[in-house]
Amino acid sequence: MGGEGGGDSGDSVIHFVFVHGASHGAWCWYKLTTLLDAAGFKSTTVDLTGAGINLTDSNTVFDPDHYNFPLFSLLSDLPPHHKVILVGHSMGGGSVTAALCKFPDKISMAVYLAAYMVQPGSASSTHNSPMHLGEEDIWEYIYGEGVNETPTGVIMKEQFIRHRYYSQSPLEDVTLASKLLRPAPVRAFLGFDKLSANPAAEKIPRVCIKTAKDNQFSMLRQDRMVENWPPSQVYVLEESDHSPFFSVPTTLFIYLLRAISFLQS
């Protein structure tokens, strides 16, 4: 787990839990959690299995439940009646949806930030995927089980990182991220669209925050996700690249506060 902030551990405080995207870790939320903690909210960031400072080799993570385990364990350890606002970035949206299905009574709102938002039980197929294995030359694959097998890991090639992930972000953050990104578990991701339909998960309000200057996840693709599984609120971060936690942390902070103002108390 990445870390926790906020002095008050009581049930009354609004608690955000942040889930990183592919190759990222709890570290990527440092600006946003600083803002939230200073404003009196509680924030928790998680390192999924094989990410951030989690010690597992991501090439051994084949299953979504194994990948999501640190998030599931955090949610299952919450005190009774304590609910969190779950925020997922990019492929972290898949982990958020899995958590909605497994712990619907622990989540008051799910926020998808430039994120994978696919309805559980909707028959998706890899030909709809914006990222086929081998589709573009921007990815470095790791074949942990041999070259004739499905890759076990994937990471963006160094020369594409700045443009694709962080084009509008401060250079210091690009430098930091370049040193911290780790291979992502391809096989666990391939299981993300296998969730069954879940009526309890459908009842939880979902918010989509789109990123307009995103060179990784185009607005067209983001719009398609919203059309396919309409959320209750949609926001657009006009000046954001794929990584709003670096490029526009203050606007993101304001949008999160606006989103939660619609929660029933």
Ligand X SMILES: CC[C@H]1c2cc3[nH]c4c(c3C)C(=O)[C@H](C(=O)OC)c4c3nc(cc4[nH]c(cc(n2)[C@@H]1C)c(C(C)=O)c4C)[C@@H](C)[C@@H]3CCC(=O)O
* Cβ-based neighbours of 60, under 8 Å, separated by 6 or more: 50, 144, 152
Site string for ligand X, 151-180 (x = CB under 6 A): ---x--------------------------
Min dist. Cβ of residue 210 to ligand X (A): 11
Question: Which tokens sit at 152?
Answer: 């076990």
Is 90 an active-site residue?
Answer: yes
Residue 241 interacting with ligand X (CB under 6 A): no
Is 132 an active-site residue?
Answer: no
DSSP lists the bridge partners of residue 49 as none
Min dist. Cβ of residue 36 to ligand X (A): 21
In single-letter form, the type of residue at position 146 comes to: G
Q: Which of 43, 90, 95, 240 is labelled catalytic?
A: 90
Q: Which of 47, 173, 193, 214 is labelled catalytic?
A: 214
* Cβ-based neighbours of 45, under 8 Å, separated by 6 or more: 1, 2, 3, 17, 18, 20, 26, 27, 29, 33
Min dist. Cβ of residue 109 to ligand X (A): 19
Nearer to ligand X, 161 or 260 (CB): 161
Residue 21 interacting with ligand X (CB under 6 A): yes
Q: What is the DSSP string of 83-143?
A: -EEEEEETTHHHHHHHHHHH-GGGEEEEEEES-----TT----GGG-SS-TTSSTTEEEE-
Is 65 an active-site residue?
Answer: no
Residue 101 interacting with ligand X (CB under 6 A): no
Residue 41 gets the label, from left (phi > 0), alpha (psi -120 to 50) or beta, of beta
Q: Please name which of 20, 129, 16 lies closest in space to residue 78, comparing C-alpha atoms.
A: 16
Residue 110 interacting with ligand X (CB under 6 A): no
Nearer to ligand X, 33 or 211 (CB): 211
What 3-state class would DSSP assign to 10? coil
Nearer to ligand X, 3 or 191 (CB): 191
Which residues from 27-86 bind ligand X, rule CB under 6 A? none
Helix (H) or strand (E) holding 67: helix 64-76
CA distances from 179 to 43, 52, 118 (A): 24, 11, 30
* Alpha-carbon span 54 to 48, nearest angstrom: 7
Residue choice 39, 53, 133, 200 for contact with ligand X (CB under 6 A):
133
The interface region with ligand X, picked from 30-38, 70-78, 118-126, 230-238 by CB under 6 A, is 118-126
Q: Which of 24, 58, 242, 243 is labelled catalytic?
A: 242
Binding site for ligand X (CB under 6 A): 21-24, 90-91, 93, 115-116, 118, 124, 126, 128-131, 133, 154, 184, 186, 189-190, 192-193, 216-217, 221
Q: Active-site positions?
A: 90, 214, 242
